[in-house]
Structure 1
Amino acid sequence: MTEEIPYGIAENLLTKLGSAVFHEIGLMYGVRGDLRKLESTLSTVRAGLLDAEEQQERSHTVADWVRRLKDVVYDADDLLDEYATEDLRRKTDDRGRFAAQVRDFFSPSNHLAFRFKMGHRTKDIIERLDDIANDISKFNFIPRVISDVPVRNRGGETSSRVEQSHKIVGRVENRREIIDLLMQSSTQENLSMVVIVGIGGLGKTTLAQLVYNDQGVVSYFYRRMWFCVSDDFDVKVLVRNIIKSATKRDVENLELDQLQELLKQNLDGKRYLLVLDDVWNEDKRKWGQSITLLPVGANGSKILVTTRSTRVASVIGIDSPYIVEGLKDDESWDLFGSLAFKKGEEQMHPNLVAIGKEIVKMCKGVPLVIETLGRMLYFRTQESHWLSIKKNKHLILLGEKNDILPILRLSYDNLPIQLKQCFAYCALFPKDYRIEKRLLVQLWMAQGYIQPLHENEHLEDVGDEYFEDLLTRSLFQEVEKENACEDIIYYKMHDLIHDLA
């Protein structure tokens, strides 16, 4: 279990300690030297944070070091807040405001007591931070500069528009074949299943969405419902969410028999399509129970399942699932090239094109990998950077292990320091959760993660830019607006990206 690196808190502390306000506070309470020492030691520790993040995955001792660091920087943050609060109260009293309530508070004895107490706390925090700094040489952390370049300024390039964040390549034939399967009626059964199987990142959900929103499918089925199952296959939760999708009703308090009755009222005798996305459950008993609860529906009703596991298909009685393969070579290059180069730029960098085509072949047609690497290489013209991706051991082994998470990790490793904790914070939301962008930015602000470069910048505006940058790196997807007239934007994370977070 890795620990979250407290980048944002460390940055806030250094900003406070370097400010004129804390210069004055240091003089007022006789701790100027201590605060300078705290600032100096924290700067030393800060230089090793990037290397500590990488090493803690391989070392429990380093992870414990990070945990100790988190404790002390949070205590230091509380300490500086108390100094600032006391200073504000003193200035308020000096101006004659609220004198009746506070005239006794700043008596000489109280003032001395505060200085004595805070002086001891300050020295204790400095000693703890000194111990942490001394361990840096033991771990051989390589000092690295944490860039203060704004995330929106990527080589002078502004972020892409939200609406252009996701490009779908290929899958025309796949979509047509699955639609044909869904529209095949059987004289033997009214409700049947189609199962899409493929490794993570192949675009099964995207393909299912293309099918789900196809105009022919919309016209063919009386009702369409979508539910992302992921790791939770509780039958009651499943039925409840099917009803929510079908009726838009809140049915949290209904029991299973009441839920089943509602299902019958809304679906019995009607041709419907139910999509169960990202299914992992291999419990035959649970599958049987959930299928029994579903109304039969009119002839031609279908359940479309997407899963990474062929065993899931076998458990629910599907011997010949629809297997999704990787993109073709030309489709893969089309996707990669559109993301790694600006329009018309390929001709200017033939050496990068040659390396890029080798990288694309190693991606095995997996769209999520292609998209992640393409966006990561955008506006990077150093040949050495492209070669480092080509030589990455996880990319080389992709064909053998089918494990794309270590490759996705490259995208995280290349994030500006300000964005790492903003991205990791999103792991707190459940998979497939539809998060409002504005709310997420406010939560980042509450955590102290937003770092404006200039005093006159609004935190909300900087947070919007953080969001845009994560979006252009494919770490967010499925962005949508509440309606065409409003600027209320939502996003989801791909389930593998959520695993990465």
Structure 2
Amino acid sequence: MSIIGEAVLTASFELLIKKLASLELFTQHEKLKADFMRWKDKMEMIQAVLADAEDRQTKDKSVKKWLDKLQNLAYDVEDILDEFETEALRREMLLQGPAAADQPGTSTSKFRNLIPTGCTNFSPRSIQFDSMMVSKVKEVNARLQDIERDINLLKLKNVISGGTSRSIAQRLPTTSLVNEAKIYGREKDKEAIVELLLRDDLRADDGFSVISINGMGGVGKTTLAQPVYNDDRVQRHFEIKAWTCVSEEFDVFRISKSILNSVASDQCTDKDDLNLLQQKLKKQLSGKKFLLVLDDVWNESYNYWSILSCPFEAVAPGSKIVVTTRNLGVTVNMGADPAYQLKELSNDDCLCVLTQISLGARDFSMHQSLKEVGEKIAMKCKGLPLAAKTLGSLLRGKDDPRDWEFVLNTDIWDLQEHKCDIIPALGVSYHFLPPQLKQCFAYCSLFPKDYEFHEEEIILLWIAEGFLHQANSRRKLEDLGRDFVRELYSRSLFQQSSKDASLFVMHDLINDLTQWAAGGRCFRMDDKFEGENRQKFSQTLHHFSYIRGKYDGKNKLVSICDVKHLRTFLPMKLSNYEGNYLAWSVLQLLLNLPRLRVFSLHGYCVSKLPNEIGNLKHLRFLNLSGTEIQILPESINSLYNLHTILLENCHRLKKLCKDMGNLMKLHHLRNSNVDSLEEMPKGFGKLTCLLTLCTFVVGKDGGSGLRELKSLTHLQGTLKISKLENVKDVGDASEAQLNGKLNLKAFCLNGVLILVMQLKLRHVCLTC
């Protein structure tokens, strides 16, 4: 099973086609309208053959090359549309002057009328831009023509389906039989499930109760259900038992037939339809205490489950259905209560599994030379028994330490698929994600192993990269991002941190899965690539991250500065160590990467930014938290696409830009712990899209006063208002009333009446 690149391609094409379909955005330039319509038509035709191409890419190098060309084109088209939108916004603001920000619709993300009439059309910058865009559009037309021609040469087929067309690798169905002597570390889990099965007081609205065993792929859900199913106490407690492996396709007819075969095989005939099957099954189960195990369930359709469960309503009280699944959505739709969350094994138990499979023994008493490397391999499994079984099977019958060292130093995802059960086992979790969610999941490959992250951190990155899109524009992208995070958590691809419940983390093998899914579009640099081992990066690389070091200079980062299509520059940290330095020469080179959308200097001892940062016209996300920055350069005010600026713990920060009124797409300005900040800049009230603002510093003559808060009606969370001594009089504050349209709350501080809007804020802190 290989679906590399599919996440980005499918999602990218869906988004681009939707953008190009918005014809009303291009009403003033007929030539562009015709070109964009032509792009849309060709992309819809290409989209129809994508599924076939992605199925064939591993076997046909020509198809893989075609997909690579297509992916590069999708990125370039997205950048071109982005450039048009940015230039249109610049011209509109220039044409209308300072009042533009007060006009309705200026903060919308839709394109304005491109190449509008007026004096801006004849400025040297506008003429140069128009000429450059005409050239780029012609180039895209030629590339689309070549790609269209290759569809026929490669004989790609139009595959029409409701979802994905590709088939996943077939996995053997599970059975109820098990050798309990080879199961380690699950004694307490088994007793807990057996105890639930023997209880007759569980909630049972339909006459039976559902118990789910949840956990990520390979954690041992089926292996736990097997000894439970065969336990003597369970055998005596239930009159009838059945085990059915459901797997990916929830075929109600097949499952019903399997259950009837288990309880009364003589009643099944080939002529039975679903109605007859269920009638027979209901008759066999009527008044009897029944245990059913549905192993490996993926279906989230309540309707399918309600049809399957109709015959179960005739069972005797105390009947149970055990479901194993890696998806909490399944648990909810089947009404499972309780849901038992199965955790990973300890390293010692993983080691027992490894030695049992590889050496046929419980320990290394007869193979002392393998003990040390064996323990390291067990730790590599990170508690997944399937990983221990997989690596153990590769080492079966091998007692040469060199073979064990090879397995230790080889990434599981580099092993041959037919020898590695873990690849299809975890890959199927990725396979069933919607295209947009696959794109977001693959992007998580930039996070180092064991990296713990806040929900908001990944959501803001997804937004900056343009991965979040929805038809209902009234709904915030942040809300869609939260849905995505919860969906990945529900599917056991994200886990809650054991140290802090507010943080998420990925299992090491899930982290490997993200890298596999991302293909060559994302790259996370490890220390082994530094110095003489540094590699030459492909120009098709778009997203880059690395572990921040104490001194990061050209030796480490010069190669990435040559990747002109780079969209993400993301230094990461795994510890709280401070005092990291980035070479000034590298910083200057990075600002020559024109396609950057995510740019972070988080934690570096950087005291200033070059004014050239204003050249990053595509920039959406700027993280300067934890730096020693003192003044933001004025050129930042020309970055019209900025969505997020992070300035947390910038203790030396004194001034923002003099005027931030152009940043009308800014949604998040996180500026907590900026004790040296002197005032909010002029025009701050124009940032009407702001959702997050941690600190508002009341300005004097040249800054923003409290009245600027009147426009920030979408703020939520906590806001600290400081420097209240700069408030001139009560009238200055009361101007925020906007003719009484806003609900205000009055505060009295040091004899001065302060009026603050009651927004969606949880808390307002007033300080002098």
Q: What is the TM-score with the length of structure 1 in the denominator?
A: 0.45
Task: Give the structure with the larger helix fraction.
Answer: 1
Q: Which has the higher strand share?
A: 2
Greater RCO structure (CA 8 Å; 6+ sep): 1
Question: Structure 2-normalised TM-score?
Answer: 0.30
Structure with greater Cα Rg = 2
